Structure 1
């Protein structure tokens, strides 16, 4: 019960990773705002909808407390009202898990502007707006002299960290989330807020086709390394009070594996102390590359 009495907002919580996070937060004692628009894998409206309400029923069956939210996290008003829902329903907000997203995969030369903008909107803007709304609330609390011990967990991807063929829009959005995480961690630290990101690998609607083509299903009773529930313990811990002091970090999580990512940092350098001649840049760059580790390969590259 490491999140007993904490109030958590989870976006994209109707299915997959978000659903797993919401249920695990509830098992650990949190009250949960379950946010989901109820759309298809590519973000199109889905007949029937209602996955958020179903997750709320699951949480209530566990003896927990939850409320459903259909707010659009990539809309300014929707993001504000999402955060207001937590405050109105439960009287406080302790953690925000940004998870909502969808895919519209294309090779770059075939990637239309609509598909580019739609993916950046839901992933990157859909992280920024709830983060901004929650951050503004916690800043106001801190300035009013009330203690804040809050958490934000963002969802990046291996595609954002290393690149992924056929996913230029998704990779760009997920890389942007890492940059947003680093800035938010620095800016919100004075108000008692930590901000971290995860890069999960799991079987969800967004990835089921890939895993079906490349991995055999687990044997009955065997550990399912690609179950989304495997990622949730890290997310729940990052949303708990116990994670105080851990901020500005990016973690990979898949199966039973946790990895602290070692992102961009200064590597080999040459300082000539004067302007370079273009002809001399080539040998210098080749020397730098020779002294640096090889980059990890882009997903899907041959």
Structure 2
């Protein structure tokens, strides 16, 4: 017994690529993808609510590692809580951060699936490359920020007038650590901007290298202004890391220019006063076809005067 196979139509991705999807269908697709991303974030929020306490213990370790931060029993000194709801609100914030990280593959895929049809094939390829580089850079910046907090917190506590016996407020301390992690992670995406300028042909590697004085100054100025850590350790380490990433990005740009053949001097070895070779065309030039004589345009006919209003009639009168 033969069964007739139903022919499947084009997918939503193909419809969006070829432009056959209407505006209403685009809005419906956006609604569906936002709904799926929201479900993933809610599921990640539930997971984050379970992992909030281990995450808090991990963020608390830099403070507990300080000399004098433990009591006689070896227990870490408790944080100061100013409001009864601070602990629960802080747990919700940590759960939201963890939920966004856990659900990142889902909501990032939904975002990419909505944007990708509007890109060309080579643009999608480079987008995959940049995303695969952006994630390790962000993780590297976050790990470096955690180490900076671990080392720089001792300097901040010892340099103050209150000493290490100061009991820190819990929400401000967690905000300080999370802001450091977020800032370092975002700042480490700086090389991607330079690579994007080079890969798209906006700036060559030589031009990028010629900006090294201004870039180093901007790195130190940005680190001094944006870093939550007022101590010199965190600011200096962030500025040096950004400068190192800048030179690494310039090196990758040089390799890309060499691969594409950019920057080659076409007239290398030619003297400045040497004329360029010209190809002499010895074929005779044929006579052009004769041009017809332009006939004069006749004068236009006079326009009839308009009929008075009382003499105008239509099919109703």
* TM-score bucket (shorter structure): under 0.3
Structure 1 length as normaliser, TM-score?
0.23
Which structure features the higher share of helix residues? Answer: 2
Bigger Rg over Cα: 2
Which structure features the higher share of strand residues? Answer: 1
Structure 2 length as normaliser, TM-score?
0.23
